[in-house]
Amino acid sequence: MSAAAGNRLPATLPARTIAVAHGDGIGPEIMAATLRVLAAADPALTFHEVSLGLKAYEAGHAGGFDGDALDVIASHGVLLKAPLSTPQGGGFKSVNVTLRKTLGLFANVRPCVAYHPALPAPHPGMDLVVVRENEEDTYAGIEHRQTDEVVQCLKLITRPGCERIVRHAFEYAVANGRRKVTCMTKDNIMKLTDGLFHAVFEEIAPEYPGIATEHMIIDIGTARVATRPRDFDVIVTPNLYGDILSDVAAEVAGSIGLAPSANIGYGAAMFEAVHGSAPDIAGKDLANPSGLLLSAVMMLVHLGRGAPATLVHNAWLRTLEDGVLTGDVAAAGQVRRVGTQAFADAVIERLGQAPTRLRAVDYPSRTETTAAAPARTLSVARRPAADKQLEGVDLFLHWDQDGRSPAALGARLERIAGPDFSLELITNRGVKVYPNGNARTLCSDHWRCRFRAPAGVSPLAIAALMARAAHAGLDVIKTENLYRFDGKAGYSQAQGA
Ligand code: NAI
């Protein structure tokens, strides 16, 4: 883009109010700096302050939310949020998690960019975006202790959840002139959960013929992001992998302190820096406001306010290029080291200028249709229900007798199988230990016992089986039904089976 395009002052924009949370630690300082830049670039914006985190907690709001904060955020549809301190080992639950869940912020979008040569980076030209599913996976927070030795966390992946995040990644790619979307999963091991995510990716990809696609296993994918980040453009991945990968990518870009993020839902969106509240430097005018400022740029783009977004982003790039830097990124040499507020002043002074060596941006403007709704509807179609056949059950037992001998447990279970079932196998920690197990397998007190009824069985027969187990003194801690969906097994096979 030419410098002239970066010089354009925004045309008159409609008035828009956004919710802002000033946060804890360095939050108030970097928010003040960011709001001053926003006010200079987009005077039609107004800010409605909400109190979240420690401030709200100390004012007597046990959840970390001021009375009507959630309603205010929902009514404006957009929240610009400074980092919040999370008390460790007590206090209120994570406000971030509550916000994500209450507002349905299903997509976490994190651009990871190297700003070489303004900031020396190991991979000049790196410019990728991680689109992380934000609500499901092991983050559903469903955990149970089941035996003396074993705890479990439920990994939930839903088809609608996969459809909307994958579609969001492709829509993001189209809207931002990206060329490729890479899906990362571990479906070689988790064939059902990660397999569904990958399958949905393959189903949706043909709807975007202009975008190249690929799939990588998350472990090698993360390694490649660390060593060859320029090979990537947009990456879409489930929640846990995305959590780790996006930090790796931001670190590789050399700029975790500069990294912005967007949390997008259908009716609301939240924008925040990736870093935390940095209590060690709070109140000293040392903090870098860039992560929050770039998050505010993402917010303006999301709202269709392309002109002020372009203005702020280019002025920020120019500030870096001119060597005006906060202490966290200022290496020795030809730089002017400044504090938080002076950095904001330097960006404001450069509003209307574009970078000359770094790539300038030019965001499109559009009319905001509904409160922060994505440009194109991403609604998920309901599919017809599958033909579902019940063909057995996995009984999970807490059992610590007979020296934990699988053969002894097998003999007891064979006696309760009754006419409806046959005992197919027993596994411990997923590994088959009966029949014909390996004596070297480490056995915990948690056993999965698979009873099969290939001709089909009723739920009542399963209840009767559980009753026989209880009468035999066996401690059934949970069951999982074995279904076939349209003829296809809806459960994993045992390892070593
Ligand atoms: P942190 O990101 O706050 O700090 C890590 C290091 O980076 C510190 O040395 C800090 O001084 C430095 N740093 C962070 N942001 C900076 C900035 N803008 N400019 C210059 N230096 C910066 O991570 P930490 O120490 O693990 O967490 C502190 C608090 O922040 C905790 O209570 C944590 O729960 C919270 N937190 C909140 C987040 C959020 O609200 N989204 C995200 C991460 C942490």
Q: What is the CATH number of the domain that holds 314?
A: 3.40.718.10
Confirm whether 381 is domain-assigned: no
Confirm whether 378 is domain-assigned: no
Confirm whether 17 is domain-assigned: yes
Identify whether 219 is a catalytic site residue: yes
Regarding whether 400 and 365 lie in a shared domain, the answer is no
Confirm whether 68 is domain-assigned: yes
Strand 16-21 relative to strand 78-81, pairing:
parallel
Q: Given the CA of residue 290, which atom of ligand 1 is nearest to it?
A: 18
Residue among 277, 328, 329, 343 whose CB has most ligand 1 atoms within 8 A, to mutate: 277
Residue among 251, 275, 326, 329 whose CB has most ligand 1 atoms within 8 A, to mutate: 275
CA 27–ligand 1 middle distance (angstroms):
10
* Rounded Cα gap, residues 147 and 333, in angstroms: 60
* Rounded Cα gap, residues 144 and 456, in angstroms: 30
What angle, 0 to 180 degrees and rounded to 10, lies between the N-to-C axes of helices 239-252 and 218-227?
Answer: 10
Confirm whether 377 is domain-assigned: no
> From start to end of 27-121, where are the E strands?
45-49, 78-81, 107-113
Order of strands, edge to edge, in the sheet holding 78-81?
Answer: 45-49, 16-21, 78-81, 269-273, 260-264, 107-113, 127-133, 234-237, 180-185, 212-217
Q: Respond yes or no on whether the N-terminal peptide bond of residue 435 is cis (omega within 30° of 0).
A: yes
Identify whether 155 is a catalytic site residue: no
Domain end (from 318, 341, 372)? 372
Identify whether 243 is a catalytic site residue: yes
Regarding whether 120 and 199 lie in a shared domain, the answer is yes
Nearest-CA residue for ligand 1 atom 37 is 276
CA 272–ligand 1 middle distance (angstroms):
12
Tokens representing 446 are: 């948690």
Regarding whether 438 and 336 lie in a shared domain, the answer is no
Catalytic entry in 57, 115, 139, 434 = 139
Confirm whether 11 is domain-assigned: yes
**In sequence order, which residues have a C-beta less than 8 Å from that of residue 47 and are 6 or more positions away?**
17, 18, 19, 20, 35, 80
> pTM of the prediction?
0.91
Domain end (from 372, 403, 436)? 372
Regarding whether 330 and 478 lie in a shared domain, the answer is no
pLDDT value at residue 5: 45
DSSP-derived 3-state class of residue 392: strand
Nearest-CA residue for ligand 1 atom 6 is 278
Residue 439 sits at φ, ψ, to 5 deg, of -60, -20
CA 86–ligand 1 middle distance (angstroms):
11
CA 59–ligand 1 middle distance (angstroms):
23
Residue 319 near residue 347, CB atoms below 8 Å: yes
CATH number at residue 401: 3.30.70.1570
Identify whether 187 is a catalytic site residue: no
Regarding whether 363 and 218 lie in a shared domain, the answer is yes
Catalytic entry in 243, 285, 445, 475 = 243
Tokens representing 370 are: 């509904």
Confirm whether 496 is domain-assigned: no
Nearest-CA residue for ligand 1 atom 18 is 288
Regarding whether 231 and 83 lie in a shared domain, the answer is yes
* Rounded Cα gap, residues 112 and 100, in angstroms: 21
Range of the domain at 184: 3-372
Nearest-CA residue for ligand 1 atom 44 is 276
Confirm whether 494 is domain-assigned: no
Q: Which residues line ligand 1 (CB under 6 A)?
A: 26, 83-86, 96, 257, 272, 275-281, 287-288, 291, 328
Regarding whether 140 and 274 lie in a shared domain, the answer is yes
Domain total for the chain?
2
pLDDT per position in the chain (497 positions), as tens? 444 444 455 567 899 999 999 999 999 999 999 999 999 999 999 999 999 887 787 777 877 788 788 899 999 999 999 999 876 655 666 788 788 888 999 999 999 999 998 998 889 999 999 999 999 999 888 999 999 999 999 999 999 999 999 999 999 999 999 999 999 999 999 999 999 999 999 999 999 999 999 999 999 999 999 999 999 999 999 999 999 999 999 999 987 789 999 999 988 999 999 999 999 999 999 999 999 999 999 999 999 999 999 999 999 999 999 999 999 988 766 779 999 999 999 999 999 999 999 999 999 888 876 444 444 445 566 788 999 999 999 999 999 999 999 999 999 999 999 999 999 999 999 999 999 988 888 999 999 999 999 788 999 999 999 999 999 999 999 999 999 999 999 999 877 66
Regarding whether 393 and 340 lie in a shared domain, the answer is no
Regarding whether 411 and 456 lie in a shared domain, the answer is yes
Domain end (from 322, 342, 372)? 372
Residue 100 near residue 242, CB atoms below 8 Å: no
Regarding whether 399 and 281 lie in a shared domain, the answer is no
Regarding whether 170 and 127 lie in a shared domain, the answer is yes
Regarding whether 471 and 348 lie in a shared domain, the answer is no
Residue 340 near residue 33, CB atoms below 8 Å: yes
